[in-house]
């Protein structure tokens, strides 16, 4: 699929416009919300400390256990529940990547389930697996199994990356693996290092149903109106 097969509005409708830099200020968050409204994207993804914030017509998304995933499951759950109580519609949680690398998939399942139960059924839970790190350290079978366990635990989406791991962000290979693992039952969010329309189109063709972007305007400018 090329970017000419997609329209700007189609892509905007699946973008989480993202600001997760540690140095981000309240003014930066407000500017991100304003840009999201101007671009017509689906959601705004922010750090939970930015809540409460009015994102207007865009959904409010926050992260939990970010970016390492090394928080205790109960801490992730409490962080996620507080975010929902403060107005978040969606939560992107990070798994314990080391547990996945070790093959401790029951722990990954329990981690996701703990957060799922904390946020309730009305909140979309996306599970960040750090696919680049898993592919590098453990291989494709681990990516597949982690996605399956996340789905079993109640994830509404599986997500490639935080964008902060040195192993890298989204890849076409990872998205294809993740889509194959979950079929059409849950969504796949690609995030991390997506800066061009061409790459975005490749990820969508591979099976991504949501994109996490900080360069939303630049990506959207590459698609026809």
Catalytic residues: 92, 159, 189
Ramachandran angles phi, psi of 96, nearest 5° = -80, 100
Q: What angle do CA 13, 16, 21 make, to 5 degrees?
A: 160
DSSP letter string, the chain: --GGGS-HHHHHTTEEEEE--TT--HHHHHHHHHHHHHHT-SEEEE-GGG-S---TTSEEEEEESTTT--S-HHHHHHHHHHHHHTT-SEEEEEP-HHHHHTT-HHHHHHHHHHHHHHH-TTSEEEEE--HHHHHHHT-HHHHHHHHHHHHHTT-SEEE---S--TT-S--HHHHHHHHHHHTTSSEEEEESS--SHHHHHHHHHHT-SEEEES-HHHHHTTS--
CA nearest neighbour of 96 among 88, 87, 85, 105 = 105
> Using N-to-C axis directions, what is the helix angle for 140-152 and 105-119, rounded to 10°?
30
């Amino acid at each position: 699929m090329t970017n000419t097969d997609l329209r700007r509005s189609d892509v905007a409708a699946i973008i989480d416009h993202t600001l997760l830099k540690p140095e981000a200020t309240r003014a930066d968050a407000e500017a991100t919300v304003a840009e999201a409204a101007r671009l017509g994207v689906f959601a705004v993804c922010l750090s939970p400390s930015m809540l409460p914030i009015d994102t207007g017509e865009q959904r409010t998304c926050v992260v939990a256990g970010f970016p390492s995933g090394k928080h205790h499951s109960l801490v992730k759950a409490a962080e996620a529940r507080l975010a929902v109580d403060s107005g978040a519609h969606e939560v992107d949680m990070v798994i314990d990547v080391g547990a996945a690398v070790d093959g401790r998939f029951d722990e990954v399942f329990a981690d996701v389930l703990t957060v799922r139960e904390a946020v309730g059924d009305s909140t979309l839970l996306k599970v960040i697996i750090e696919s680049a790190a898993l592919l590098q350290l453990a291989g494709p079978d681990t990516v597949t199994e982690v996605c399956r366990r996340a789905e079993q635990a109640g994830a509404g989406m599986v997500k490639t990356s935080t964008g902060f791991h040195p192993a890298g962000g989204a890849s076409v290979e990872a998205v294809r693996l993740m889509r194959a693992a979950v079929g059409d039952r849950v969504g796949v969010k690609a995030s991390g290092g997506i800066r061009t329309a061409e790459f975005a189109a490749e990820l969508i063709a591979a099976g991504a149903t949501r994109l996490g972007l900080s360069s939303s305007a630049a990506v959207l400018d590459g698609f026809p109106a």
